[in-house]
Amino acid sequence: MRVSNLVRTCVVSLVLAALAMFPSAANSAAPKAGAAVSTSAPWIALSDLHYGPSFGGSEPSVYGEDTNPALLRSFLDELHRVDPDPPVVVLGGDFLAHVIDPKLAVPTIRSIARQFDRAFPNAQFVFVLGNEDSNCGDYAMPAGSSFLREVASAWAPLVNRHNAAPGFAHTFPADGFFVARLPVAGLRAVAIDDVFWSPRYRNACAGALRPGAETQRDLDAAFRAQPAAHTWVFAHIPPGIDAYSTAHITHGLVVVPFLDQRAKDAFVQSVAEPSHGVSLIVAAHTHKFAFRVTGDGNDAVPMLLVPSVSPIFHNAPSFLIVHVDAGRTIVSVDDWTRLNGAWADRGGLQTLGMPDVSTRSILALQRRLASDTTLRDTFARLYNGDAKPEITAQNWRVYWCAATDLSATAFRACMAEGGYSILTGRAVKLLAVFVVATLALAGVLVKVARDRGKRSRLERESRTP
């Protein structure tokens, strides 16, 4: 292994170690198989439920806590009040609480499926699993596991509603992958489990096998099976830079990636291929409402990041109400959040001056954010669900660059930072100072050891007759 690769591997390991210390049967009224569902009603999108059925309290969870039964009841009641009969409900992963008994993993997943099924008996569900969704630990679910089979059994009636995903029960238990027809003419969903691509992933329950390559093969096979089909890709972890960790944990010294570089590059290249027909990526994991783009120019693929229900990271519990037009474009998004005991619409695309979720609109928003401080404040408020902003006047550029620059090198260039790989210029300087100081200290210790040896030798010689 080259020295540069060894250094990078060591640095990534240290960063990831640090990050690990911080707290992711059809209804009788349903249409016949193959029938199109009206898209006049808005869709619902939510993520990072992080539900703990044993979490106590008669009041909903507060900042710093995962979702308890009281918050889940309040959440489902509000969803049903705002959008009682959505054609589609999107769940972006991380159903399970951050700290949960592994024995409760399957019963909790089944309980969540039952509650959503009762709330929305006509809706088609599109979901992915997150890094917490495992009975083996965080970032530790093995492919082809009994857990995946149990999840598939619990959710198949919801995902395959109206015969939208007939292959779900077959493909999902292997690695969380499936393809579904969406209720918009000519539009399909391809759902993947990209947790396998995280550098933090470990196959704790099944040895050293890393199933990430199989996930990419599944994705490419789906594209080949229906070339040029209009496709939305659903995943839990967005490709690119972890803005929060980069800004708040490494303090800008290390650029923290969400995914393994090779896996991220292969994914971005695959979805950017025009013949694959990908027009949107929906992801989550950040717990925040935001947008990104993959690639360069107006041909890049837009990305919608779905916020979190769990308020554990001091974000307000949130969900999105999404309108999709007949042209397969999201033309309206509203961010509903719970603050001070009440749910309310905090704004969305119109608040940000965006006509739709497209690459063109996101890049236009980026240009305005670069110079409009009032718009930045509005974006920061929506980003955290109207709670205390995570994006500030001091760190806004980290989040701004993370929206368009998905590699460490491109991100450093956007930040006007020198450096090497994931290390910024300041980190390189500190590392150089550390190396020089270490070598100097080593030199002093060697000199002390030599002087001590010399004195010891002279003492011995002086005692020799």
Task: Domain ranges for the chain, please list them.
Answer: 3-419, 422-465
Average pLDDT, the chain: 87
Per-residue pLDDT reduced to its tens digit, 151-189:
999 999 999 999 999 999 999 999 999 999 999 999 999
Q: What is the pLDDT of residue 419?
A: 87
- Determine the Cα–Cα distance for residues 192 and 208; give it in Å rounded to an integer: 21
If you average pLDDT over residues 277-298, what whole number do you get?
92
* pLDDT band at 346; cut points 50, 70, 90: very high
- Please tell me whether residue 179 adopts helix, strand or coil conformation: strand
Residue 36 has pLDDT above 50, yes or no: no
| % residues pLDDT > 70 (the chain) | 87
Please tell us whether the domain made up of 3-419 is placed in CATH 3.40.47.10.
Answer: no
Closest Cα to residue 247, out of 380, 359, 352? 380
* pLDDT band at 29; cut points 50, 70, 90: very low
Per-residue pLDDT reduced to its tens digit, 245-277:
999 999 999 999 999 999 999 999 999 999 999
- Please tell me whether residue 392 adopts helix, strand or coil conformation: coil
Residue 39 has pLDDT above 70, yes or no: no
Q: Are strands 290-294 and 278-283 parallel, antiparallel or unpaired?
A: unpaired
End-to-end CA distance of the chain: 56
Closest Cα to residue 18, out of 254, 290, 302? 254
Q: What is the pLDDT of residue 8?
A: 47
Q: Which residues contact 62 (CB under 8 A, 6 or more apart)?
A: 311
Q: Are strands 43-46 and 88-91 parallel, antiparallel or unpaired?
A: parallel
Q: What angle do CA 269, 286, 345 make, to 5 degrees?
A: 115
- Determine the Cα–Cα distance for residues 42 and 133; give it in Å rounded to an integer: 27
- Please tell me whether residue 282 adopts helix, strand or coil conformation: strand
Q: What is the pLDDT of residue 455?
A: 73
Cα distances from 47 to residues 41, 51, 135, 364, 400, in angstroms, run 20, 11, 19, 26, 22
Q: What is the pLDDT of residue 128?
A: 98
If you average pLDDT over residues 51-58, what whole number do you get?
86
Residue 30 DSSP code: S
Joined together, the tokens standing for residue 244 give: 């929060």
DSSP string, 122-141: T-EEEE---TT--SS-TT-P
Q: What is the pLDDT of residue 209?
A: 63
| % residues pLDDT > 90 (the chain) | 69
CA dihedral (11, 17, 19, 20) in degrees, to 10, reads 160
* pLDDT band at 82; cut points 50, 70, 90: very high
Per-residue pLDDT reduced to its tens digit, 364-384:
999 999 999 999 999 999 999
Residue 17 has pLDDT above 50, yes or no: no
- Please tell me whether residue 247 adopts helix, strand or coil conformation: helix
- Determine the Cα–Cα distance for residues 237 and 305; give it in Å rounded to an integer: 9
Residue 288 has pLDDT above 60, yes or no: yes
- H or E element, residue 382: helix 373-383
